A and B are shown apart, each in its own frame.
Chain A
Amino acid sequence: MITFIVRRLLGAVLMLLVVSMVTFAVFFLVPRIAGQTTDQLATQYVGRNPSVTQIHAMEVKLGLDQPIYVQYGRFLKGIVAGADYDAGPDRTHCPAPCFGYSFKNQQPVWPQMLSALPVTGSLAIGAAILWLVTGVGIGVLSALKRGSIFDRTAMSAALAGVSLPIFFTALLSLAIFRDSVPLFPDAGNFIPFSESPGRWAEALVLPWVTLAFLYAALYARLTRAGMLETMNEDFIRTARAKGLSERKVVVKHGLRATLTPIVTIFGLDLGLLVGGAILTETAFSLPGLGRFAVNAITNQDLPEILGVTLLAGFFVVLANLIVDVLYAVVDPRVRY
């Protein structure tokens, strides 16, 4: 088991390296191949109407005049150990993990992402709990009462859930529950949990429900299909033949087997979301990573885009790692 985890951990680190290389290449190598000169690259960092000397100083400061592998080395070192930007008297230290400075506001990228993280985290984890419970619950009931009115209603709702885009359901929920019937007047107005748990929750209820609706619909369908298959398995018949109560047959034997693939997908979905729930955050104006990414892209703020891409990649790799390890725990047939 330990060797399995270590092996997976090494794999994850390797994966992150590859992610960093690809992202780095996209932002620094591809523009050169496309014909951009070092000067043009540096110009982006300097501001409006820069002088040639300013541009040149920036080139040296950022190391853009160095060969590409040296630049990648600096970039990596910045993330791991922090970076020093040294240009004569103008010396700045950027502590690890350093993703550089925003074009827009000259602030280091990492602290900005760090402050956006709790917002996305609150949104993703809250929604995840909600959709896991409701999605799996509805899926199980639907499978057990296959063809019933409950099943049909639930599956129609699920179809709506997967079909309706977030920016529609989000705006609809805002229009109704914030504006028409002001149940949640502060929806989207993020307050950290540590400041006021009540207001934290109040601001997040609508985003949670909106995001969870989509995923719950997905999970209900997955669970239903999985349960229908599992309940036809021989081991379910064996469990019944033992004289187990139907409830135990369903939960202990049926759901237990169905849940394994769902846990896998759940981990990956959550990992993806923590990297930024772009649509939900944008629709509710939540200052999370997704919105940070959207703003960065709109402003063509390269260091920010780079940072948020790498962070999102990190969460996906982390989620994969956790799911892999968890899978070995959940399914004893998986060899370590």
Chain B
Amino acid sequence: MTDTGNWGGGQDGFVDVRPRPGEAEFYDSAPTPSDSFLELRDLRVQFPTDDGLVKSADGLSFTLERGRTLGIVGESGSGKSVTSLAIMGLHKNTRARITGEIWLDGEELVGASVERVRALRGKKMAMIFQDPLSAMHPYYTVGTQIIEAYRIHNKVSKAAARRHAVEMLDRVGIPQPGSRVDDYPHQFSGGMRQRAMIAMALSCDPELLIADEPTTALDVTVQAQILDLIRDLQQEFNSAVIIITHDLGVVAELADNIMVMYAGRTAEYGPTDDIFRRPQHPYTWGLLGSMPRLDRERADRLLPIMGTPPSLINVPSGCAFHPRCNYASLTGGRSTDEVPVLHSVDGEHSVACHLTAEQRLKAWETDIKPKL
């Protein structure tokens, strides 16, 4: 099923999210270029360690078009960040083993040279990180760092790059950009720093923007501003955006599609509305249940997901979620023995779960929905 059969078979992965009839079998020797702006095909990122092989991403596939936003949701250690770093080529030169395909605007990145990916990085694809204080160099001014990002890919004078940096700071809503440009990151507030980080990421008009937990380190009041900013800028630049978060509230605001990840695999994928209104995977139910909501009685407790995320070295057999799943017993042992395949339930909406459609519907209607 995949062209990467060298990982010992057992955990063989998923079908593609969007069916491409008859295509999967054909790219054995020469992979077919993707028509989508961004497409991941069976991406696997593995780290050999002394304790064993860490499978951080285990057969991910999705597509993303310009102007659209994909939200990747999951707990810590579900492989969200590793996936985004793989797209950015930031695992190159490390010990990570990457297989599968990443197509960005007709160009395959997994097999591309380090230099080629570097040329695309910052220019065609850019990234915003979680903690803007540690993600910016403490010894250089904000302006210097934006100017640097701009001048890597644009042969312009320092003065011109500086004007551009001021303009970018203005665009992301930093007051008095002309003087703040010479401030150091520690002189900015958390929200301002993240704005500056966004300005830096957008300085070369990237067509793909990956935001890795962009609001996690920020005050709640600032979070909404940053999300608004990302949305506005996306509309302005018509870029494709991937938002990585553990906070369903964030993706509800921004994403067109949502991918729920668990233990390096896709648990559920679909349009945001579908995910929120008709979630199919017990793990997604758990995420929704553990989300605080204003319109809920305070007396009602949140519904935490029992247990802890699995180690990515010893991923549970079968469905990785089965040890924490309340419905695993309904599958007659398939949960523990067989890796569920991602299959469509309704158009784009797909789920990797052994429960039958009826079982899922029943559980959702009777157990989960009334408690949300």
A: which residues have CB within 8 A of B? 233-235, 237-246, 253, 256-257, 260, 330-333
- Write out the residue numbers on chain A whose beta carbons fall within 8 Å of the beta carbon of B153: 243
CB < 8 Å A-B pair total = 71
Tell me, in angstroms, the Cα distance from A239 to B137 when the chains sit together. Answer: 8
Bound together, the chains give a CA A144 to CA B85 distance in angstroms of 20
By the criterion CB–CB under 8 Å, are A333 and B184 in contact? Answer: yes
Smallest CB gap from B183: residue in A: A332
Docked Cα-Cα span, A241 to B206, in Å, equals 12
Check if A330 sits within 8 Å of B137, measured CB to CB.
no
A235 and B137 contacting across the interface, CB-CB below 8 Å: yes
Q: Are B139 and A332 in contact (CB under 8 A)?
A: yes
**Bound complex: CA A244 to CA B119 (Å):** 9
Other CB < 8 Å A-B pairs besides A241-B121, A332-B141, 6 of them? A238-B137, A238-B200, A243-B149, A253-B137, A332-B139, A332-B186
**Once the chains are docked, how many angstroms separate the CA of A331 from the CA of B140?**
9
CB atoms of A242 and B200 under 8 A apart = yes
Q: Which of B155-195 contact A (CB under 8 A)?
A: 184, 186
Asked if B139 and A256 sit within 8 Å, CB to CB, the answer is yes
Q: Are B118 and A235 in contact (CB under 8 A)?
A: no
- Minimum CB–CB distance for A326 against chain B, Å: 13
In the complex, whether B224 has a CB less than 8 A from a CB of chain A is no
Q: Is B135 an interface residue (CB 8 A)?
A: yes
**Residue-wise interface mask of B (94-130) relative to A, using a CB-CB cutoff of 8 A (1 in contact, 0 not):** 0000000000000000000000001111110011010
Docked-complex contact A242 and B122, CB < 8 angstroms: yes
A239 to B85, CA, bound (A): 13
Interface size grouping (class) on chain B: 20 to 34
Q: CB distance A234 to B131 under 8 Å?
A: yes
B interface residues (Cβ-Cβ under 8 A, vs A):
85, 88, 90, 93, 118-123, 126-127, 129, 131, 134-139, 141, 148-149, 152-153, 184, 186, 197, 200-201
Residue of A nearest to B118 (CB): A243
Of B88, B131, B134, B141, the residue contacting A241 (CB under 8 A) is B88
Q: Known interface pairs A246-B93, A333-B184, A333-B186. Does A241 touch B127 (Cβ–Cβ under 8 Å)? A: yes
Contact of A243 among B119, B141, B186 (CB under 8 A): B119
Q: Cβ of A235 and Cβ of B127 under 8 Å apart? A: no
Interfacial chain A residues near B90, Cβ < 8 Å: 237, 240-241
The CA of A257 and the CA of B138, in the complex, are separated in Å by 8
29 A–B pairs (Cβ distance < 8 Å), ordered by A? A233-B134, A234-B131, A234-B134, A235-B135, A235-B137, A235-B138, A237-B90, A238-B137, A238-B200, A241-B88, A241-B122, A241-B127, A241-B129, A242-B122, A242-B148, A243-B123, A243-B149, A244-B122, A246-B93, A253-B137, A256-B139, A260-B139, A332-B138, A332-B139, A332-B141, A332-B186, A333-B138, A333-B184, A333-B186
B139 touches A257 (CB 8 A): yes
Closest 5 pairs (CB-CB, A-B): A243-B122, A243-B121, A234-B134, A242-B122, A234-B135
How long is the Cα–Cα vector from A256 to B127 in the complex, in angstroms?
23
A256 surroundings in chain B (CB, below 8 A): 137, 139
CA distance A105 to B90 in the complex (A): 70
- Please indicate the chain B residues that have their CB under 8 angstroms from the CB of A239 in the complex: 137
Q: Within the complex, what minimum Cβ distance (angstroms) separates A143 from chain B?
A: 14
With A243-B118, A243-B119, A244-B148 as known contacts, state yes or no: A238 contacts B138, CB within 8 Å.
no
Cβ contacts under 8 Å, B152 to chain A: 242-244
A238 touches B136 (CB 8 A): yes
Q: A253–B140 Cα gap in the complex (Å)?
A: 9
Of listed B120, B123, B148, residue having the most chain A CB within 10 A: B148
Distance between B197 CB and nearest chain A CB, rounded to angstroms = 8
Whole-angstrom CA separation of A244 from B90 in the bound complex: 12
* A238 vs B145: C-alpha distance when bound (angstroms): 10
Residues of B within 8 A of A233 (CB): 134
A72 to B123, CA, bound (A): 70
| In the bound complex, CA of A246 to CA of B92 (Å) | 11
Q: Give the CA-CA distance A302 to B134 in the complex, in Å.
A: 55
Which chain A residues border B137 with CB–CB below 8 Å? 235, 238-239, 253, 256-257
Chain B residues with Cβ under 8 A from A330's Cβ? Answer: 139
Minimum CB distance partner of B124 in chain A: A243
A226 to chain B: closest CB distance in Å? 14
Complex Cα–Cα for A332 and B123 (A): 29
Contact residues in A for B122 (Cβ distance below 8 Å): 241-244
Least CB distance, A221 to chain B, in whole angstroms: 23
Q: For A235, give the chain B residue with the smallest CB separation.
A: B137
B98 CB to closest chain A CB (Å) equals 16
Tell whether A242 pairs with B121 under 8 Å between CB atoms, given A234-B129, A234-B131, A237-B129: yes
Residues of A within 8 A of B121 (CB): 240-243
Measured in the bound complex, the distance between the Cα atoms of B128 and A242 in whole Å is: 10
Query: Contacts of A245 on B, CB cut-off 8 Å?
Result: 118
Residue among B93, B120, B139, B149 having the largest count of chain A Cβ atoms under 10 Å: B139
